[in-house]
Amino acid sequence: MIKRGVTNLSSVDFESGETILIDKPLNWTSFKVIHSIRKVINVKKVGHAGTLDPKATGLLIVCTGKRTKEINKYQDLPKVYTGTITLGKRTSTMDSEGEVIEEKEVRDISEETLLQTRELFIGEIDQIPPMHSAVNYGGKKLYQLARKGRTVVREPRKITVYSFRITKIQLPEIQFEIECSKGTYIRVIAEDFGNKIGCGAYLSELRRTKIGIYSVEDALEPRDFSNLYKN
């Protein structure tokens, strides 16, 4: 496995297969990460085990060559995210990438209310995928329909939130750490959280810190990986 601390990639056979821990930068798409690695190592088969939105940062597990057959193994692992929910505003994408579509005043929200609301999102819950997502609908991605201004009825999916900790409260912002199953949309939790309180909310910051036993602390930034390979 290629991760932080590796000093030499000259003997690595990426065509036969390797796993790389990458720390995805802000405003990069997951595809851009894959494209940059493919360009560096000159191997066609490169894939990742779970998309991160452009406004999210953090751990992306990348597989190359024959190791791409193991992507599902990593996708099925639980994930840990940290981030910030901003109360009082809703956006078109449920995160900071979209336009503000609703604003409400945030006041008289106690810590007790926030903690009680958090409890509603722990355990197995039904979650409706957002329109701005890569979920398939009628042969197209939902985000493709959303870009054309279309909204379609989506079936709820079962997801599991193993833990939901509120780590800091500085209204209108709430910092959190969530451990959840695959297929969980944290921005949906953010908006639903705000709706339960009655003021709306959006996901203003997100970072994936763990996938199973793998940690972002061990991950390389794309630029670091490129420099290691060239050296």
User: Which pTM value belongs to this model?
Assistant: 0.92
Q: Could you give the CA distance from residue 91 to residue 131 in angstroms, rounded to a whole number?
A: 12
pLDDT at 128: 85
The two most distant CA atoms of the chain are separated, in Å, by 60
Q: 200 is written with which tokens?
A: 């709306």
Q: 182 is written with which tokens?
A: 């695959």
pLDDT at 137: 60
Of the candidates 53, 108, 126, 224, the residue annotated as catalytic is 53
* pLDDT by residue, tens only, the chain of 231 residues: 999 998 888 789 999 999 999 999 999 999 999 999 999 999 999 999 988 988 999 999 999 999 999 999 999 999 999 999 999 999 999 999 899 999 999 988 999 999 999 999 999 999 988 766 666 766 766 667 667 677 766 788 999 999 999 999 999 999 999 999 999 999 999 999 999 999 999 999 999 999 999 999 999 999 999 988 876
pLDDT at 91: 95
DSSP annotation string for 123-138: EEEEEPPPSSS--EET
Residues 6+ apart with CB under 8 A from 81: 58, 177, 178, 179, 180, 186, 206, 207, 208, 209
pLDDT at 11: 83
Give CA separation, 179 vs 78, 207, 208, in Å. Answer: 7, 12, 10
Give CA separation, 47 vs 22, 38, 65, 67, 88, in Å. Answer: 12, 9, 9, 9, 37
Residue intervals in the chain for CATH 3.30.2350.10: 18-76+213-230, 79-211
Give CA separation, 76 vs 164, 182, 222, in Å. Answer: 19, 6, 24
Architecture of domain 18-76+213-230: 2-Layer Sandwich (3.30)
The answer to whether 36 and 226 are in contact (CB under 8 A) is: yes
108 a catalytic residue: no
pLDDT at 66: 93
The domain over range 79-211 is classified in CATH as 3.30.2350.10: yes
Query: In 10 A of CB 115, how many CB atoms?
Result: 12
